[in-house]
Amino acid sequence: MFGRYILEMDDSYRLLWTSAETYLDRAFGYCYLNESGFVSACNTFYVGGGYIEPDIITHKDYRNQGLAFRLCQEFIALGRQRQLTTYWDCDTGNTGSNHLAAKLGLEKVGEVPILWWHESKEVIAKYLATYNYST
């Protein structure tokens, strides 16, 4: 499933976790699948120092159906069983993620400015437009 997730959803996981075995040894995740593949997923993006950070992705055709909320509830519950505190961070402009965190009962503790470095101005422009920033 790890390899399929990398292919279908987020290839950065091959950089975060060196193998499926490493991921399963230290991390965990939940997902919804249909006949076409991944619909929604909540996985470990980071774990360390007693904290765990989720990474949530829901296919655009399946958003606003409560899928991410249910997956995150399970993720947080398993984290607590493993004595891990959920650490949630997201961009201020990511209203969907901010709303989901609040709905899950997490409290905002502050904001940190982001300094972007990228070789492509188009990538940054697309990100800023996606999360409601003016360029």
Per residue in 3-51, pLDDT tens?
Answer: 888 888 887 888 888 888 988 888 999 999 999 889 999 999 889 999 9
Nearest to 30 by CA among 80, 71, 84, 76: 71
User: Residue 56, SS3?
Assistant: strand
Cα 58 to Cα 6, 17, 50, 66, 130, distances in angstroms = 14, 21, 26, 10, 15
CA distance 51 to 66: 25
Q: What pLDDT does residue 93 have?
A: 81
Tokens of 22: 């490493």
Over residues 79-116, the pLDDT tens digits come to: 999 999 998 988 888 888 999 999 999 988 887 777 77
Pick the range with the lowest mean pLDDT from 40-44, 68-72, 113-117, 120-124: 113-117
Q: What pLDDT does residue 134 have?
A: 65
What is the pLDDT averaged over residues 40-64?
93
